[in-house]
Amino acid sequence: MRYLIFLSMFMLGIAVPVWADVITFKNGDQLTGKLVELKDGKFLFETKEVGTAAFEVALIRNFSTDEPVELHLTDGTVIKSKVLAAEPERFKIEKTDLLVAQTFGLSDLAAINPPPKSEPKWSGSVNIGLSSTHGNTFTESGSVGFDANRRGEKDRTNVRSLYLVQRSEEKDALTGDKEKVTTEESFIIGGKYDYFFAPKTYGFVNGSFKKDHIANLDRRIIAGLGIGYQLIDEDKMHFNTDVGLAELCEKYTYDDEITQTDEMSLQIGYHFDRKITEKFTFLHNLTYYPSFGSMSDYFLTADAELRASITQSMFANFRAILDYDSTPGQNVSTTDTKYILGVGWIF
């Protein structure tokens, strides 16, 4: 009988969790339970009496743990150790074979038992635009765009591409016959990689390639590097500026006459996006490339987009794209503006 009672008590002791971590408050009160984590300046503490509760570090005199915890210090040091109570607003780690006993201030703690960092993943969108007019006039147009982003702990990558095509019906001046001709066909792809040296300061490299059949642009290649600053980085709004150097190479062909340029320029730009409401988001990019030889010789590209959520993964959008080349090829306008209305999917 005694054996059964002892065995029952032993099994009950195994089943009941150990509540041996202690928080001591500045007013002298103590709370015994289980320290879950320290995050964003708050201790998350689990107790029998009140369940799980959060306490500001400013309210704590000291604390101790019965089991080793993962301590992340503000200087980046990570220590796994039991914590022993020390003088007010300090804590002590116990001596082990690998560690000597040390005392730290509570202000030295950045986190305790933080969740494992998730691997950076790609996110972005694919969007298409289609339109067709038949009757007195005939036009067909289409676009396919792709935008992908990846944000790591220290870096950020963006890749974008866009293909546009349009056909219209034109009348032959001599015969009067109507024929369908391509009036718009262009393709652009670009990418940018940012590496953060500090929480807001980063270096970058970027590049892009564009071909425009109607504008007689065989290629426009831009490759650059520089430094940037993240002015705003919030859930609903982001704003960063860049400045650097770029190599800009262009080739135009018109009636077998070739015009080529290859020059170094500055590049100054910014990116801005804001979630206006739960349904609407505004995005805007601009980059300015003034030539070192003459400030009046420059290339500018800008785009603005308004997105409206339809479902959690689907949206409608209206996008305007502007390219301005102060020294274009022969028989080519300085300004090239495109407007796109379409739908997209977020991944």
Domain boundaries, the chain: 15-112, 122-346
Write the pLDDT tens digit of every residue in 63-106.
999 999 999 998 888 999 999 988 999 999 988 777 788 899 99
Q: Give yes or no for a contact between 55 and 104, defined as CB atoms under 8 angstroms apart.
A: no
- Percentage of the chain beyond pLDDT 90 is 59
Largest alpha-carbon pair distance within the chain?
115
> Superfamily for 122-346?
monomeric porin ompg (2.40.160.40)
- Can you say how many angstroms the Cα of residue 111 is from the centroid of all Cα atoms in its chain? 24
- Predicted confidence at residue 174, as pLDDT, reads 67
- Predicted confidence at residue 56, as pLDDT, reads 93
The phi-psi region of residue 124 (left if phi > 0; otherwise alpha if psi is between -120 and 50; otherwise beta) is left
346 or 296, higher pLDDT: 346
- Predicted confidence at residue 19, as pLDDT, reads 59
As a whole number, the mean pLDDT across the chain is: 87
Separation CA 94–CA 71 (nearest Å)? 13
Q: What is the pTM of this model?
A: 0.69
Write the pLDDT tens digit of every residue in 266-285.
999 999 999 999 999 999 99
What does R_g of the chain's alpha carbons equal in angstroms? 31
Among the residue ranges 117-131, 219-233, 312-326, the one predicted with the least confidence is: 117-131
Average pLDDT over residues 224-240: 96
- Residue 120 sits at φ, ψ, to 5 deg, of -60, 140
- Can you say how many angstroms the Cα of residue 207 is from the centroid of all Cα atoms in its chain? 18
| Nearest C-alpha neighbor of 282 from the set 341, 238, 233 | 238
Separation CA 148–CA 154 (nearest Å)? 18
Helix (H, G, I), strand (E, B) or coil at 77: coil
**Number of C-beta neighbours around residue 7 at 10 A:** 10
